[in-house]
């Protein structure tokens, strides 16, 4: 049986999965201003900024623009 793998041997789905982890984690720590929780909490999430406050210190320390 022929198995289709890329030249490096890394399957596409593994790359896609890690790429999703990368984008989501980066957004969570570096950029969220209530967006993620607003999916469940609605507009209130933009007031509470739970994730922003939680990741706030790392945001400054890792060089992401903040306040």
Partner 1 sequence: MRTFVFLIIVLISGAFAGTIHGVVNFVIVEPYLDQAIGIENQNLFASGEEKDTPEFWVEYEGYRVWQKSGQILAGTILGTSIGALFGIIFALSRNSLPGNNDVKKAVVLSGIMWFTLFLIPFLKYPANPPTVGDPETVILRSILYLSFIAISGFGALAFYKLSKKFQNNRKLVVLIGYGVFISVAFFAMPENPDEITAPMDLVNEFRIVSFLGVTSFWVSIGLILGFFWNRLGPHKETTTSYN
Query: Does 8 participate in binding partner 1 (rule CB under 8 A)?
Result: yes
Per rule CB under 8 A, is residue 47 in the interface with partner 1? Answer: no
Helix, strand, coil: what percent of the chain each, to 5? 65, 0, 35
Q: Does 40 bind partner 1 (CB under 8 A)?
A: no
Residue 54's Cα: distance from chain center in Å? 14
Collect all residues with Cβ–Cβ distance below 8 Å to 54 and sequence separation of at least 6. none
Residue 37 engages partner 1 in binding (rule: CB under 8 A): no
Q: Which is nearer to Zn ion, 17 or 66 (CB)?
A: 66
Contacting residues toward Zn ion, per CB under 5 A: 66-67
């Amino acid at each position: 049986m022929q198995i289709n793998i890329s030249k490096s041997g890394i399957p596409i789905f593994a790359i896609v999965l890690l790429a999703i982890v990368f984008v989501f984690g980066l957004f969570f720590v570096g950029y969220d201003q209530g967006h993620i929780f607003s999916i469940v909490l609605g507009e209130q999430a933009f007031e509470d900024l739970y994730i922003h406050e939680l990741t706030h210190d790392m945001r400054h320390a890792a060089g992401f623009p903040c306040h």
